[in-house]
Amino acid sequence: MDAFVLIGSFMLLMVLGVPIAFSLGLAALVGALYIDIPLDAVMIQIASGVNKFSLLAIPFFVLAGAIMAEGGMARRLVAFAGVLIGFVRGGLSLVNILASTFFGAISGSSVADTASVGSVLIPEMERKGYPRDFATAVTVSGSVQAILIPPSHNAVLYSLAAGGTVSIAALFMAGVLPGLLMGLTLAVLCLYKAKKHGYPKGEVIPLKQALKICGEAMWGLMTMVIILGGILSGVFTANESASIAVVWAFFVTMFIYRDYKWSDLPKLMHRTVKTVTIVMILIGFAAAFGYIMTLMMIPLRVTSFLTALSDNKYVILALINVLLIVLGTLMDMSPLILILTPILLPVVKMMGVDPVHFGMIMMVNLGIGLITPPVGTVLFVGSAIAKLKIGVVSKALMPFFVALFVVLLMVTYLPWLSLWLPRTLGL
């Protein structure tokens, strides 16, 4: 009954239109009153939930991504991708995916990826003869890579939700191969569709112009080297790499590219603070919600229920995948990570699944949810940029969903994809 009160009040508040973060906080209060826990304990959990040093990485990565997205870096990365693969048939669709790979490795945000790459490439692809719905589908599906490729904000949230027991650096490295696999799978699909529908072939860029494009893009690509190189070499931590990324992004944008106006910086900072504030409120209330769940022994009950269904870890992982896919279509990614990780992680650990591997399974599942109606944030952004209805884009996404589900199965049942690189690097 206590679990019904907690979960039921949370669902009721969401149905009434209360924002997810506040639904979590109010449901935690209702649950605390029901099991007669002092409300002071809930307040303490909210405060301690955001009072974690590792969380400093989130605002810095968000700010770095915002500076790069608005400072001309996305446009230069698109041009650089065009130099590499834009000359083949269907080349612009491949450029779109590769640009998402580059930008995702810098911003760590699928929404920022879609907004930045999509605003450049969706109109360009349409102008070159690609259907607008196909261009939008390529953009939003390609941006899911940013969930996996470091530096992923959601990897930081997963580490936090796991109680800080999972290394952020290990999660960053675990996402490299699955992220690249996702990009490769989508690229193969685009090549097939380009051949089938006769999409245009790009032009070879002259050497002099190509060298100029590459030179400009290198400044942005250096951000990846700074973030990953610094962490792997031990020169600085994930938090320190995020702050250095901000300084580098600011330097490149304002003093190298010089496309961004100084007068626009206060507005950018204001938007970043609003985004970070929302995330921190969510983290604090989710911590209180998780605390009440623990007192009600909900994770233990879920573990007992799932293990009673089967003692085969592959069956359990399949059931969890179905659960995550369904919930990912109904809720945003961040709250689901914070809510479900404390519940599901004990289950998979009992089955012998590595927590880092399970983190990648969650990322792929919930990343697919970001482009799936009715609550697909990235899908909404892509549709808004393309000025298309959600249903039109969703229909164009169908073959891309198939490709993403293939990647999900591979990440789920081939753990070495996630674990080889962090173990090789001793993380």
Instruction: State what percent of residues in the chain have pLDDT above 90.
Output: 17
pLDDT in tens, 183-224: 999 999 998 988 888 887 777 778 788 888 888 888 877 877
In the predicted structure, residue 331 carries a pLDDT above the cut 80: no
* Separation of alpha carbons 11 and 30, rounded Å: 12
- pLDDT number for residue 34: 86
Q: Where are the domains of the chain?
A: 2-424
pLDDT in tens, 309-330: 778 889 999 999 988 888 888 7
412 burial class (0-12, 13-18, 19+ CB within 10 angstroms)?
A: buried
- Write out the two tokens for 247: 């300084």
pLDDT in tens, 384-408: 888 888 888 989 999 999 999 999 9
DSSP string, 29-61: HHHHHHTT--HHHHHHHHHHHH--GGGGHHHHH
* Separation of alpha carbons 291 and 353, rounded Å: 24
155 in Cβ contact with 161 (< 8 Å): no
Phi, psi torsion values for 325, nearest 5 degrees: -65, -45
Query: Amino acid identity, residue 213?
Result: I
pLDDT in tens, 103-158: 777 777 787 778 778 887 888 888 888 899 999 999 999 989 988 988 788 888 89
With tokens 């590459």, the residue in question is 214
DSSP 203: P
C-alpha triplet 337, 276, 388: angle, nearest 5°: 75
Averaged over 236-251, what is the pLDDT?
A: 81
In the predicted structure, residue 271 carries a pLDDT above the cut 80: yes
Mean pLDDT of the chain: 84
Averaged over 80-101, what is the pLDDT?
A: 81
110 in Cβ contact with 367 (< 8 Å): yes
- pLDDT number for residue 128: 81
Q: What is the pTM of this model?
A: 0.84
49 in Cβ contact with 157 (< 8 Å): no
* Separation of alpha carbons 108 and 146, rounded Å: 5
In the predicted structure, residue 178 carries a pLDDT above the cut 90: yes
